[in-house]
Amino acid sequence: MMLSRFLNVGTNWFGLLMIARLGEDVLATTTLITAVFTPVQIGCWSIFVAVSVISARSIVKKQYAYCAALLRQATLLAPIIALPMVILLYYVAPLLSLAGQPAHLIPPCSDYLKIIALSLIPSLFCINAQQFLYGIGKPRLALLFSTLTSITILTLTYLFIHGSYGFPNLGINALALANVIAYSTTFVAIVLFFYFSPLLKAFPLWQKPKSREKKIRQKILKIGLPIAGQACAELGALSFAVFMMGHFGPHALAAQQIVTQCSIIAMLIPLGIAHSVSIFVSQAKGQGYLPHQLRTAGYIGTAMALALMLKISFIYLFYHQYLLKLYTNQPLADEIGQLAQLFFIINAFTLLANCIRTVMAGFLRGLYETKFTMLNSIFCYWGIALPIGALLAFSTGIGPLGLRYAMLGALLIASWLLFKRFLLLTQYPHQQHASSIQ
């Protein structure tokens, strides 16, 4: 699952890395692209994480028809959810102007978003299928389709970015078109596989949707919308922070992009572990285990994620200069290099706090406890990180670093609140009784 998640998200990181080598202005443009598109994409994708959690609990009861109906309803929901987001991406340029972003960066950003918007619906179909495969215990098949998508995206980006081997020279738009082609191709491959493969014959996938399946659609939304709300609250706040960073100029945006892209890749580790914990907990609940019997899974998942993230934090602290060299063959402007180094040092600690928060949220998701994690993210990101970050950045003279310090503080609080919720829900029954008496 971790590998599949890495491929789903990490592929665009490598694509943006190739694009960033086109120059410092392009690097700054990719910051705006990431700030706008990532919340939209991940927000839509996150709704359908519910498919894996629900199907994991159903498969242990051998409810094959229910799992098939779950995938059908998720597939019907995908275009309904995606279409408003596609329209938003087509008309994002005025919003960027209102946000005070550098005027010369807005046209290339808008052109890119109009192209990549076309990938949103096929990508949702692919994500639905992958979440279904996770839930029914076939993660290797999900990894296979993720690999197909990644290879196609990276190959086409390489060919389009400079017009190699007679292909059109698309520059910054290479990655956008590559996404559209790759997800469309993978969707066709998934449909053919699901139709012909004997591995899925137990699931009546191709039956006509029935009216009684409406309750399944409601269940997807009941569990999935808070997950998406959490993702949008987090990524939306990060995007808002990027727009605030834009007030400090293209150099601050470029430094932000370097550190953000590296952090996105790093965070795929706890995200993958958290998703595995979600499915394990959901399956265990389906088998009749009580929450207090599952507490160890939360501890083990957190320990695994922290052990891996400590190594990455060490690199951020002491070897960040090598990460800077990934983005260009030319020396970076002094301001970009200095800001990026300071951002890396702060992010070394931010990653550890976010690691605990992510795994705890994954555990709670397996218990269908998604509303609390959403409210926690809204409070910590929008109630703490952004207002305090704005105060530090614009009123105290700290500048761009103020936004990073505030985010670190907010994530520490978010992690603590989720850990307290985890302990509360996994108490032994006699402890819960004593707590209620008190």
Nearest Cα to Cα of residue 94 among 118, 115, 113, 79: 113
Global pTM value:
0.80
Whole-number pLDDT of residue 253: 79
Whole-number pLDDT of residue 410: 94
Max mean pLDDT among 18-27, 192-201, 210-219 falls in 192-201
Residues 161/112, Cβ–Cβ less than 8 Å: no
Picking from 328-337, 350-359, 403-412, which range would have the lowest pLDDT averaged per residue?
328-337
d(CA 52, CA 55): 5
What is the average pLDDT across 394-421? 91
Number of domains observed in the structure of the chain: 1
13 has a pLDDT exceeding 70: no
Whole-number pLDDT of residue 374: 93
Determine the Cα angle at 382 with ends 398 and 233, to 5°. Answer: 125
Whole-number pLDDT of residue 314: 92
Which of the two residues, 25 and 296, has the higher pLDDT score?
A: 296
Rounded to whole angstroms, what are the CA distances from 82 to 50, 124, 142, 173, 339? Answer: 16, 8, 22, 21, 36
244 has a pLDDT exceeding 80: yes
365 Cβ neighbours under 8 A, 6+ residues apart: 49, 53, 227, 274, 278, 281, 373
431 has a pLDDT exceeding 70: no
Rounded to whole angstroms, what are the CA distances from 290 to 54, 284, 341? Answer: 17, 8, 46
Nearest Cα to Cα of residue 28 among 325, 305, 246, 205: 246
Residues 364/421, Cβ–Cβ less than 8 Å: yes
Long-range contacts of 81-84 (CB under 8 A, 24+ apart): 81/44, 81/47, 81/124, 82/44, 82/120, 82/121, 82/124, 83/121
Which of the two residues, 41 and 261, has the higher pLDDT score?
A: 41
24 has a pLDDT exceeding 70: no
pLDDT tens for 372-402 read: 999 999 999 999 999 999 999 888 878 888 9
pLDDT-derived band at 7, boundaries 50, 70, 90: low
Whole-number pLDDT of residue 222: 92
Amino acid, single-letter form, for residue 218:
Q
DSSP state of 332: P
437 has a pLDDT exceeding 50: no
Residues 18/161, Cβ–Cβ less than 8 Å: yes
Which of the two residues, 400 and 186, has the higher pLDDT score?
A: 186
Which of the two residues, 171 and 333, has the higher pLDDT score?
A: 171
Q: What domain range is 394 assigned to? A: 2-437
Q: Given the structure tokens 């790093």, which residue do they identify?
A: 266
248 has a pLDDT exceeding 90: no
pLDDT-derived band at 198, boundaries 50, 70, 90: very high
d(CA 28, CA 33): 9
Rounded to whole angstroms, what are the CA distances from 170 to 19, 161, 162? Answer: 10, 5, 7
Rounded to whole angstroms, what are the CA distances from 310 to 132, 151, 411? Answer: 32, 30, 16
Angle at which helices 24-47 and 106-116 cross, to 10°: 30
What is the average pLDDT across 255-282? 84
d(CA 418, CA 305): 16
Amino acid, single-letter form, for residue 137:
G
φ/ψ (deg, to 5) at 68: -65, -45
Residues 268/6, Cβ–Cβ less than 8 Å: yes
Instruction: State percent of the chain over pLDDT 70.
Output: 91
pLDDT tens for 109-144 read: 889 999 999 999 999 999 999 999 999 989 889 889
CA 395 to chain centre: 32
pLDDT tens for 56-114 read: 888 888 899 999 999 999 999 999 999 999 999 998 888 888 877 778 888 888 899 99
Whole-number pLDDT of residue 435: 46
How is the chain split among helix, strand and coil, in percent rounded to 5? Answer: 85, 0, 15
Whole-number pLDDT of residue 434: 46
161 has a pLDDT exceeding 90: no
pLDDT-derived band at 266, boundaries 50, 70, 90: confident
Report the Cα–Cα distance between both ends of the chain, in Å, rounded.
42
Whole-number pLDDT of residue 438: 45
